[in-house]
Amino acid sequence: MGAVSSARNHSEVVDPSKWLLESLSTVRTIIGVISDTHGLIRPEAVRALSGARLIIHAGDVGRPAVLEALGAIGPVHGSTAGQ
C-alpha cells in the first residue's frame, strides 16, 4: 500500500496506518446501557439514551413495548429474560 498525502499539508507524506488511526481517534460512538426496565420506560431514561448509536438492554424487559420504545432511539441488543 502506498503513502497517503495528509490533508493538513499536501507535501507531507503519512504512513496509511498512522493516518487511519489518527482519523479513527476522532470518531466517537455513544453506547447506551439499560437494564431491569420491568415493562416501564421512564422519560428520564429516554432522554439519557437519546443520541446513542446502540442500546444494550441487560435483562428483565417486561413488555415488548419497552423494546419498541428503545428501538425508536436506536438499535437495541441484549437479553429479553423476564419478558
Residue 28: its pLDDT value, please? 75
Residue 80: its pLDDT value, please? 60
Residue 4: its pLDDT value, please? 43
Q: Is residue 83 part of a domain?
A: no
Q: Is residue 9 part of a domain?
A: yes
Residue 32: its pLDDT value, please? 93
DSSP state of 81: T
What burial letters (b/e) apply to 9-24, b meaning 16+ CB within 10 Å? eeeeebeeeebeeeee
Residue 17: its pLDDT value, please? 73
Q: Is residue 13 part of a domain?
A: yes
Q: Is the pTM of the predicted complex or chain greater than 0.85?
A: no
Q: Which domain holds residue 47?
A: 4-78
Domain count, the chain: 1
Assess contact for 64 and 41: CB atoms under 8 A. Answer: no
* Per-residue model confidence as pLDDT tens digits over 21-80: 776 666 677 899 999 999 999 999 999 999 999 999 998 899 999 999 999 999 999 866
Pairing of strands 31-34, 76-78: unpaired
